[in-house]
Structure formats: C-alpha cells, structure tokens
C-alpha cells in the first residue's frame, strides 16, 4: 500500500507502523472518568467493513502520527491527515 503523507508525499506503507482505530485519540480522563469509560476506550474499537479512520505512525520517516481514512474492503485510501490536527479538532487540548 501507499500512504500519501500530508507533508512528505506518497510513501510505502511498510515505512509505517499501524496502531488502529482513530478512537484511540479520545482518551478519557483518569481522574474524572470511570472504569467502564476507560474499558470501552481501551477495548471496544470501531471495526467496520468499509471506511475506517485509523492511526498510522511514520516510524521509518518523520515520526508523524497520521489519521488515514481507508476502506477495509478495497484498501482504497481517501484521506490522510496529521493526527495532531485531528486530535485538536476532536478537542484534545492540554
């Protein structure tokens, strides 16, 4: 596969490490959220047959975490974003 890195252009997917569902960005707060919320965050992830937003890490490259929108049926990639931007958009400011 080829991932079109937003800063570096097309790169072979073998340069990246896969983590999984983008929902892993939405970490609850350990002081205010309860165990069930943490359980769901850590263990229950989206696993669709179709479009999937997922985290990839450019380990053999610039060390960016990316959010890749990819079909799990065809492997077609329709969008690649910097995970930091996505994280901010999902409300993760410190």
Return the number of the residue (6 or 45) whose C-beta is nearest other proteins: 45
Structure tokens at 16: 């990246």
Q: Does 25 bind other proteins (CB under 8 A)?
A: yes
Nearest alpha carbon to residue 22 among 58, 62, 70? 70
| Selected binder of other proteins within 6, 51, 57, 69 (CB under 8 A) | 57
* Shortest distance in whole angstroms from residue 55 CB to other proteins: 7
Nearest alpha carbon to residue 65 among 49, 80, 78? 80
Q: How many residues bind other proteins (CB under 8 A)?
A: 54
Q: What burial class does residue 75 get, using C-beta atoms within 10 Å of its C-beta: 0-12 exposed, 13-18 middle, 19+ buried?
A: exposed
Q: 54 — phi, psi (to 5°)? A: -145, 155
Q: Which residues bind other proteins (CB under 8 A)?
A: 1-2, 12-14, 17-21, 24-25, 27-31, 33, 35-36, 38-40, 42-45, 47-49, 52, 54-55, 57, 59, 63-65, 70, 72-77, 82-84, 86-88, 92-94
């Amino acid at each position: 596969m080829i991932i079109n890195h937003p800063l570096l252009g097309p790169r072979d997917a073998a340069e990246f490490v896969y983590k999984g569902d983008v929902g892993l960005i939405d970490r609850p707060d350990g002081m205010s959220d309860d165990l069930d919320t943490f359980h769901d965050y850590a263990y229950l992830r989206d696993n669709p047959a179709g479009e999937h937003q997922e985290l990839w890490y450019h380990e053999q490259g610039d060390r960016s975490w990316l959010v890749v929108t990819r079909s799990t049926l065809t492997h077609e990639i329709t969008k690649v974003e910097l995970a930091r931007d996505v994280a901010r958009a999902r409300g993760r400011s410190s």
